[in-house]
């Protein structure tokens, strides 16, 4: 994309001066919010999307994407100092290596209480966990959506 087009796109993305009110406001730009915003926009609604995290520009904001372990200190493994900042994010055992750690929150800055263990892996940036997920895409059937109800656990699928 050339500079002029990019400036125009980003200006529209961040703030549209002509547009003072919105038909819909979407909070969060992960898969859920992103898809909702796409549908709303494509159906003609004036849509405002709010994101708490930083902007991520495709490709240019992926500083570690082309790094191999031998390009990184310690073969990409987190140090004890690193682990002190992401003790919960590190519970997966693989996401806090040097290639991926930048996408996960600092647990000291974003703490939460646990009555029993709850692994909450999060990233606060445009795209949310669509940047971090493992790319397993399962085909769900109607049986999956009624499993909780049939087995009497958790909550019934709400939609
Ligand atoms: C390491 C990892 C691997 C995974 N692998 C798979 C997989 O292989 N297959 C699979 O199906 N799923 C996988 N998942 C799960 C999947 O990625 C998530 O379920 C999905 O991406 C969640 O999308 P979401 O839009 O609901 O939430 P998120 O992607 O978390 O989006 C929420 C967005 O809202 C923003 N936000 C939060 N609070 C506010 C606020 N107050 N104001 C404004 N913005 C806010 C956040 O910054 C974020 O951008 C994986 C998840 C992780 C972490």
CB contact burial 126-143 (16+ within 10 A = b; e otherwise): bbbbeebeeeeeeeeeee
Distance of CA 107 to the CA centre of its chain: 16
Residues forming a β-bridge with 25? 48
- CB atoms inside a 10 Å sphere around CB 9: 11
pTM listed for this prediction: 0.84
What is the model's pLDDT at position 119?
A: 96
Confidence (pLDDT) at 4: 46
Q: pLDDT averaged over the chain?
A: 90
Q: Is the pLDDT of residue 152 over 80?
A: yes
Pick from 1-15, 87-101, 120-134: least confident: 1-15
- Give, using CA atoms, the residue closest to atom 18 of ligand 1: 129
- Ligand 1 first shell, C-beta below 6 A: 27-33, 50-53, 92, 95, 121, 124, 128-130, 132-136
50-83 pLDDT per residue, tens: 999 999 999 999 999 999 999 999 999 999 999 9
Confirm if 128 and 136 have CB atoms less than 8 A apart.
no
Tell me if 69 sits within 8 A of 75, measured CB to CB: yes
The backbone torsions φ and ψ at residue 148, rounded to the nearest 5 degrees and listed phi first, read: -60, -45
Is the CB of residue 100 less than 8 Å from the CB of residue 132? yes
pLDDT value of residue 20: 75
Would you state the pLDDT for residue 14?
Answer: 55
pLDDT of residue 159: 83
How far is the C-alpha of 147 from the C-alpha of 158, rounded, in Å? Answer: 12
**113-141: pLDDT as tens digits:** 999 999 999 999 999 999 999 999 999 99
Angle at 97 between CA 137 and CA 127, to 5 degrees: 45
Q: Please tell me the distance between residue 103's alpha carbon and the centre of ligand 1 in angstroms.
A: 11
Asked whether the predicted pLDDT for residue 11 surpasses 80, the reply is: no
Residue 1 pLDDT grade (very low, low, confident, very high; cuts 50, 70, 90)? very low
Q: Whose CA is nearest to atom 4 of ligand 1?
A: 133
């Amino acid at each position: 994309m050339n500079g002029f087009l990019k400036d125009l796109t980003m200006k529209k993305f961040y703030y549209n001066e002509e547009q003072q009110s919105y038909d819909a406001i979407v909070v969060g730009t992960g898969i859920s919010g992103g898809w909702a915003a796409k549908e709303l926009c494509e159906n003609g609604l004036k849509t405002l999307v709010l994101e708490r995290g930083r902007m991520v520009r495709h490709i240019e904001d992926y500083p570690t994407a082309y790094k191999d372990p031998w390009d990184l200190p310690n073969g990409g493994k987190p140090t004890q100092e690193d682990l002190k900042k992401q003790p919960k994010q590190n519970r997966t055992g693989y996401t806090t290596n040097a290639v991926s750690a930048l996408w996960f929150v600092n647990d000291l800055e974003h703490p939460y209480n646990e009555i029993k263990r709850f692994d909450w892996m999060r990233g606060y940036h445009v795209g949310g966990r669509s940047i971090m997920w493992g790319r397993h895409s399962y085909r769900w059937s109607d049986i999956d959506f009624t499993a909780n109800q049939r087995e009497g656990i958790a909550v019934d699928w709400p939609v």
